[in-house]
Amino acid sequence: MISLKDLKKKVKENGYKLTPQRKAILKVLIGHNKHFISAEDILKETIKIYPNLNITTIYRNLEILEDINMLHKTKDNNTALYCLICEESHHHHIICKICGKTEIIDFCPLKKFSDLVKEKNFILTDHKIELYGYCEDCKKDLNP
């Protein structure tokens, strides 16, 4: 698991200050290790420490953290969800639709398509595969 110290260092290396609010957001993200979380849920946790914090500040900070490659961002039912980047190597995720738990899949089926993409004279810059379902704990609560 990544430490707050490492995250602070990366923020500063990218030319940003570590404001108290940004530090609180990072702590919430660390606390949700391997789980995606919404900006609204981050606000609910950080507002306990900073009562004047608002959703605009949360989104602004999440955008900065995403721009400096510290966050994964995904969408579920039109809600943006965020998770700290877990490692630098290329991978994909399986995401629980109930609790947001995330597991890494170290396999990429799209690597086989790279030659086909080149044949079409297309430059592929990025891709993302996200699989959704229910984790072991949450599937116990589903009705059969």
pLDDT of residue 99: 84
Domain architecture of the chain: domains with CATH: 4-84 (1.10.10.10), 92-139 (3.30.1490.190)
Please name which of 63, 60, 85, 73 lies closest in space to residue 7, comparing C-alpha atoms.
85
Contact call for residues 44 and 19 (beta carbons, < 8 A): no
Which token pair is 98?
Answer: 């109930």
Residue 130 burial by CB count (10 A; 0-12/13-18/19+): exposed, middle or buried?
A: middle
Backbone angles phi, psi at 108, to 5 degrees: -130, 105
pLDDT above 90 (res 15) = yes
Summarize pLDDT for 63-90 with one digit per residue, the tens. 999 999 888 888 877 888 888 876 656 6
C-alpha–C-alpha distance, residues 101 and 56, integer Å: 25
pLDDT of residue 55: 96
State the residue for tokens 């507002």. 47
pLDDT above 80 (res 8) = yes
Annotated binding-site residue numbers for Zn(2+): 96, 99, 135, 138
Contact call for residues 65 and 78 (beta carbons, < 8 A): no
Q: How big is the chain by its Cα radius of gyration, in Å?
A: 17
Q: DSSP assignment, residue 135?
A: -
Annotated binding-site residue numbers: 90, 96, 99, 127, 135, 138
**Is 82 strand, coil or helix?**
strand
pLDDT of residue 59: 96
pLDDT above 70 (res 105) = yes
State the average pLDDT over residues 37-48.
94
Backbone angles phi, psi at 33, to 5 degrees: -50, 130
Annotated binding-site residue numbers for Fe cation: 90, 127
pLDDT of residue 88: 56
**Could you tell me the CA-to-CA distances from 34 to 49, 81, 85, 113, 131 in Å, in that order?**
23, 12, 9, 29, 15
